[in-house]
């Protein structure tokens, strides 16, 4: 196949960007997890954007997030679709120590929290109804609190799944629970279960295994990306109660991660990768999501997500089904380009760091400057903007679609855009942490089973 592509490239060299002739490396393997938000990778491959850049890319599904991270670190993979928390955690040495950076944010939103049918039946009396009888959204975790108390009274732990200790899903699930007065537990240097003082017990389950684990009764709910919330609806085994769009409107999700060494040693190749991914993200959102059904067909193939097209389309095309028949319009459930989704904002990185500190993964109080320094060591908007500028100069992108003058920090999140109404400003991380009701505050640390 590579010989065929090289022959084709030779016969059409006049069409290829001159940049492609300057690549330090052109054969690359990228990893991903079977989730719909890996779409920019699939689109960049299937639409020929990688090839346009002179890149011969192989996409390989990975068993879980740890395997994926290890592959990037050991060079088996040149880059990967990553949890946004993975490059940050690796950089500060939480879990695996490695210098991983990201020049490209892959998407906004895209996750949900699903509970079993049993739990939903117990929650429903605590949820207000619309005039048509359907539940009012967003649903607060306050409706789950009496259910957890009922479980505790009968001596049963309430268990929920999330995909990785430094995943957006872990932090979003914790955020939602805490906003409803439910303690999701702390981490400490000596206890990395995250279940110290917990009322709901969170543990890791790989995304594709979420529905079957819920069906088996091993967990009572989970937070995961699509299509695995809609899969629970299709199987009739669970009900998604809230989306991350409802928890925090247009929140950052996955990133594309590479080692810092790769980026420094291969600047032209890195720029080419980012160019291809930006073009893929634009394609996914253009014409008011007009290409989404074509994307659904791509993602349904076994080499990508491998789920039923109807299940993927249930959220990918601008709707979301909470329970059988309760289909609502959510045009921004998956955002790949608009709202500057692909720009690697420092404030996004800082938010992940605040949640690591809030729950004890960062054991000690750090200065505001420390948060800023870590964010700037991981997120690389300089690489992103160089790629974007070259696309604009070639007429492949619009000048107005990129935040050229930003300092890397988004404006503070308005009260109405986050479920607990607590404003987030990435420039003042310690003040933000101290404003949250449940979680560690300045000067506090977890020692044994207590906060001191």
Establish if 420 belongs to a structural domain: no
- Give tens-digit pLDDT for 381-440: 999 999 999 999 999 999 999 999 999 999 999 999 999 999 999 999 999 999 999 999
Pair (270, 355) in one structural domain: yes
Pair (395, 266) in one structural domain: yes
Tokens 């992108």 identify what position?
397
- For 44-55, b/e burial (b = at least 16 CB within 10 A) is bbbbebbbbbbb
Rounded Cα gap, residues 200 and 223, in angstroms:
13
What is the CB neighbour count within 10 angstroms for residue 186?
Answer: 24
Q: How many domains does the chain have?
A: 2
Pair (235, 274) in one structural domain: no
Establish if 186 belongs to a structural domain: yes
Provide the token pair at 262: 């790769």
Can you tell me whether residue 253 is helix, strand or coil? coil
Provide the token pair at 128: 């207000």
Pair (242, 259) in one structural domain: no
Angle, CA of 191, 186 and 83, to the nearest 5°: 90
Which residue stretches of 379-420 are H helix? 381-393
List, for the chain, all residue ranges whose pLDDT scores fall below the cut of 50. Answer: 1-20
- What residue numbers bound the domain in which 52 lies? 2-108+252-401
Domain boundary among 385, 401, 417: 401
Which residue stretches of 104-158 are H helix? 117-123, 145-153
Provide the β-strand partners of residue 379. 102
Can you tell me whether residue 77 is helix, strand or coil? coil
Cβ neighbours of residue 131 closer than 8 Å, sequence gap 6 or more: none
Cβ neighbours of residue 208 closer than 8 Å, sequence gap 6 or more: 34, 228
Establish if 278 belongs to a structural domain: yes
Establish if 451 belongs to a structural domain: no
Establish if 431 belongs to a structural domain: no
pLDDT at 21: 56
Cβ neighbours of residue 240 closer than 8 Å, sequence gap 6 or more: 112, 113, 114, 229, 230, 232, 233, 320, 321, 322, 323
Pair (186, 287) in one structural domain: no
Rounded Cα gap, residues 13 and 97, in angstroms:
42
Pair (131, 235) in one structural domain: yes
Pair (261, 357) in one structural domain: yes
What is the CB neighbour count within 10 angstroms for residue 264?
Answer: 11
Domain boundary among 250, 283, 312: 250
Can you tell me whether residue 411 is helix, strand or coil? coil
Pair (371, 261) in one structural domain: yes
- Picking from 391, 382, 386, the residue whose alpha carbon sits closest to that of residue 346 is 382
Establish if 416 belongs to a structural domain: no
Can you tell me whether residue 312 is helix, strand or coil? helix
- Picking from 81, 76, 94, 87, the residue whose alpha carbon sits closest to that of residue 304 is 81
Supply the pTM of this predicted model: 0.94
Establish if 41 belongs to a structural domain: yes
The pairing of beta strand 238-243 with beta strand 111-116: antiparallel
Tokens 């930003």 identify what position?
406
pLDDT at 12: 39
Pair (90, 141) in one structural domain: no
pLDDT at 3: 41
Asked if omega into 138 is within 30° of 0 (cis), the reply is yes
Pair (169, 241) in one structural domain: yes
Cβ neighbours of residue 433 closer than 8 Å, sequence gap 6 or more: 354, 357, 358, 439, 440, 441, 442
Can you tell me whether residue 369 is helix, strand or coil? helix
Domain boundary among 225, 250, 275: 250
What is the CB neighbour count within 10 angstroms for residue 301?
Answer: 13
Establish if 437 belongs to a structural domain: no
Pair (162, 34) in one structural domain: no
CA distances to 36, 138, 249, 311 from 317, rounded to whole Å, are: 11, 20, 18, 11
Pair (39, 116) in one structural domain: no
Domain holding 228: CATH number? 3.40.190.10
CA dihedral 9, 10, 13, 15 (to 10 degrees): -40
How does DSSP classify residue 379?
A: B
């Amino acid at each position: 196949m590579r010989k065929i592509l090289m022959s084709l490239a030779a016969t059409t060299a006049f069409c290829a960007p001159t940049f492609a002739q300057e690549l330090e490396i052109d054969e690359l393997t990228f990893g991903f997890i079977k989730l719909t938000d890996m779409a920019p990778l699939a689109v960049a491959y299937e639409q020929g954007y990688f090839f346009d850049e002179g890149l011969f890319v192989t996409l390989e599904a990975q068993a879980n997030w740890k395997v994926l991270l290890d592959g990037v670190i050991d060079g088996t993979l040149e880059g990967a679709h990553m949890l946004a928390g993975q490059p940050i955690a690796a950089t500060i040495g939480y879990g695996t120590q490695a210098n991983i950076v990201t020049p490209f944010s892959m998407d906004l939103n895209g996750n949900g929290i699903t509970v079993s049918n049993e739990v939903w039946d117990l929650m429903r009396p605590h949820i207000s109804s619309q005039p048509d009888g359907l539940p009012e959204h967003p649903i607060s975790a306050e409706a789950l609190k009496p259910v957890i108390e009922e479980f505790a009274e009968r001596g049963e732990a309430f268990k929920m799944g999330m995909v990785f200790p430094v995943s957006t899903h872990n932090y979003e699930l914790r955020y939602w629970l805490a906003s409803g007065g439910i303690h999701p537990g702390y981490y400490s240097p000596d206890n990395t279960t995250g279940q110290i003082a917990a009322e709901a017990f969170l543990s890791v389950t790989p995304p594709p295994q979420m529905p079957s684990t819920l069906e088996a009764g091993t967990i009572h709910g989970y937070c995961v990306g699509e299509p695995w919330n809609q899969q629970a609806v299709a199987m009739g085994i669970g009900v998604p109660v809230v989306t991350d769009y409802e928890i925090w409107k247009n929140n950052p999700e996955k990133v594309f991660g590479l080692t810092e060494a790769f980026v420094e040693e291969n600047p032209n190749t890195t720029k080419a990768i980012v160019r291809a991914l930006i073009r893929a993200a634009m394609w996914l959102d253009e014409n008011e999501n007009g290409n989404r059904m074509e994307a659904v067909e791509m993602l349904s193939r076994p080499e990508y997500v491998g789920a039923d097209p109807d299940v993927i389309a249930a959220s990918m095309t601008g709707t979301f089904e909470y329970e059988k028949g309760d289909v609502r319009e959510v045009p921004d459930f998956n955002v790949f380009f608009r709202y500057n989704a692909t720009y690697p904002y420092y404030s996004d990185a800082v938010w992940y760091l605040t949640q690591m500190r809030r729950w004890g993964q960062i054991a000690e109080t750090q200065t505001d400057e420390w948060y800023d320094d870590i964010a700037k060591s991981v997120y690389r908007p300089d690489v992103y903007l160089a790629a974007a500028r070259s696309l604009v100069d070639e007429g492949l992108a619009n000048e107005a679609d990129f935040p050229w003058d930003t300092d890397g920090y988004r404006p503070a999140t308005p009260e109405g855009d986050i479920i607990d109404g607590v404003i987030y400003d990435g420039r003042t991380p310690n003040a933000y942490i101290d404003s949250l009701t449940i979680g560690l505050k300045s000067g506090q640390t977890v020692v044994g089973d207590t906060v001191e």
